[in-house]
Structure 1
C-alpha cells in the first residue's frame, strides 16, 4: 500500500469527541488530520457515541468500520453512575457499524447485537480475515456470566458479509487477570495476538499461534522485556501496521495523564516474530492525540480521494 488511514476518536469530555475521526499519512510516520480535525461520522444510535474503532477492507473491496457503542460524555455520570464497573456489566451488547465502497461515502449507522444476556458490555472490536476459511473473525473483550462477570476475556464471531454473524465463542482467557483490546495480525503464516493484560503484568503482551482461533498461543518474551521498561498500567489499545521497509509499527494508546498528554505512542520492531518493539517517538508526528483506533493501508488514489473530499457537506 502507498499510504495509511488512521480511524480513531478523541478523548474529550463532550460528545463530539466520541465519534469517528480520520487521519492520513503517506509514510506511516507523519500524520495529518482530515476534515479540519472534525468528525467524519457521528453516532445517532445507541449511546450516540463510539469508541475503540476498527476498520477492515474485504476481499470484495468493501470497507467496514466497527466501534464500541459507548459515550462517557452522555452516560458516565448518569446511566452508569460514574462507575466503570457498571459499564462493564450493563453496557451495550451491540457494536456500531458503517460500510463504504470508497472510504468517503458511508452507509447509515447500524447496531450489530452480538452479545446475549450473559454478556456484559462489548468492548474494543477488531477484525482479521481468516486465510484458511476465507471469512472474517470479529473479536472483542467482554465480561460474562460464566465467571460471574469477573475478569474479562476475548470472544469472537465469524462473518462473510457483515450482515450475518455466528454465535459468539470464547477466543482466549488469561488465568491470572482479565484481558482486553485484542489485535491480531498474520506474518509468514503465523498469527500474532496483542492483548492488554489487566494485571500480572498490567501492560501489553504478545502471543504467537499457528491458527487464528486455536489454543496453542505462547508469549513472546522479548516483547515482555520491552514492555517491562514502560510505566505499567497506562498503555492500552494496540494497533500495528507494516511500514514500507518491512518493519512493523506498533501504536499504544497512553492514558496516564488527563487531557492533552493522552494519545498514541509509536514503537518499531523488525518483525512480529522478533517482538522487540522499541519506542520511537522522535520519528513520528501527530496533529493531536489520537485515541483507540486502527491503521489501514490504503492506495495513493484512496489517500487523495479522502484528502480532497468535501467533508463539510456532512455537517
Structure 2
C-alpha cells in the first residue's frame, strides 16, 4: 500500500459536521481534504447524523464504512433533552453502513440493527478480520440493562458478508469504570487492543492478547507515556502502520470547545513496546479531524479518491 485514507467527521454544531468526510495522505504525516473539505456521504436515516466512523477493506474486495447513528446537531436538546446519559440509554440500537467496490461510488445508507432492547446506544464501531474463523468481528461500546445501564462495556458480533450478523456478545468489561472506543490490531500473531478507560486511569489504555476475543493484559509502558499528557481528554484511538514499519496512533483531543478539538499523533517504533511519543511537529492537518479510522490504500485508489466531487 502506498497511501492512506482517513474517514472521519468534523466538530461542528451544525448537521453538516456529523457526516462522512475523507482526507488523504501519501506518507501518513501530511494530510489533505477530499471534496474541498465537504462531506462525501450524508446520513439520511436514523438520527440523520453519523459519528465515530470506521472503514474496512474486505477479502471480497468490497469496502464498508460503519458509524454511530447519532446527530447531536439535530437532536441533543430535543430528542435527548440535553443529556448525554439519555443518549447512552435511549440512543440508536443500529449502526449506519455504506458499501463500495472502489472507495468512490457508495451504496445507499443501510441501518444495521445489532442491539436488542437491553442495549443502550451503540457507540464507535470498529472492524477486524478474524483469520481463525474467517469472518469479521465488529466491536463497539454500549451501556446495557445487565448492569442497569451503568459502566459501558465492549460488545461484538461476527459477520462474513455484512448482511447477516451473530447475536452480540460481551468482549470485555473493566472493573470500576466504563470502557469505550475499542480499536484492535493484529501484529506478529498477537492482538493489541486500545481502549478509552473512563476512570482508573481516565486515559487510553493498551492491552495485548493471544486471541482476538480472549484474555488481554495491559501494557504498562503505554500507560506511563499517557500519564505524561497534561490532560485526560483524549479518546477515539485509531492506529496504522507507517511505510518504515513504525506505528502511528491518533488520539482525538476533546478538552476544548470548537476548532481546537481533533486528532493528535503519537509514534512508536513498534506497537508491542507501548512507547508512543507525541509527535505533532511531524504532522500537518488541514483541519482537526474528529473520531475516525485510517485505511491503507494504493496509489491508484488515492488518485481516484482525490478526484471525488460529491
Residue 231 of structure 1, CA deviation: 2.9
Where structure 1 has 5 or more consecutive residues not aligned to the other structure, the ranges are: none
| Residue 98 (structure 2) aligns with | 98
**How far apart, in 1, do the equivalents of 2:288 and 2:231 lie?**
20
| Residue 242 (structure 2) aligns with | 243
RMSD in angstroms over aligned alpha carbons?
0.6
| Residue 37 (structure 2) aligns with | 37
Residue 132 of structure 1, CA deviation: 1.1
| Residue 139 (structure 1) aligns with | 139
CA contact (8 A) 2:231 2:255 kept: no
CA contact (8 A) 2:222 2:275 kept: yes
1:295 aligns with 2:294: yes
Following TM superposition, where does structure 1 have runs of at least 4 consecutive aligned residues deviating by more than 2 angstroms? Answer: none
CA contact (8 A) 1:6 1:294 kept: yes
Q: Which aligned pairs between 1:154-303 and structure 2 lie closer than 5 A?
A: 154-214=154-214, 216-303=215-302
| Residue 305 (structure 2) aligns with | 306
| Residue 109 (structure 2) aligns with | 109
Question: Which region of structure 1 is more displaced relative to structure 2, 229-238 or 200-209?
Answer: 229-238
Residue 232 of structure 1, CA deviation: 3.7
* 1:248-305 deviations in Å (ceiling 9; x for gaps): 0000000000011111000000111111000000000000010000000000000001
Residue 52 of structure 1, CA deviation: 0.1
**How far apart, in 2, do the equivalents of 1:244 and 1:100 lie?**
26
Name the SS of the counterpart of 1:203 in structure 2.
strand
The count of aligned residue pairs is 310
Q: Which aligned pairs between 1:23-34 and structure 2 lie closer than 5 A?
A: 23-34=23-34
TM-score, with normalisation over the residues of structure 1? 0.98
| Residue 75 (structure 1) aligns with | 75
Residue 114 of structure 1, CA deviation: 0.4
**How far apart, in 1, do the equivalents of 2:191 and 2:22 lie?**
27
**How far apart, in 1, do the equivalents of 2:229 and 2:217 lie?**
22
CA contact (8 A) 1:208 1:217 kept: yes
Q: Which aligned pairs between 1:51-62 and structure 2 lie closer than 5 A?
A: 51-62=51-62
CA contact (8 A) 1:202 1:233 kept: yes
CA contact (8 A) 1:141 1:155 kept: yes
| Residue 87 (structure 1) aligns with | 87
Where structure 2 has 5 or more consecutive residues not aligned to the other structure, the ranges are: none
Residue 46 of structure 1, CA deviation: 0.2
* 1:195-252 deviations in Å (ceiling 9; x for gaps): 00000011100000000001x2000011010000113431000000000000000000
**How far apart, in 2, do the equivalents of 1:184 and 1:275 lie?**
14
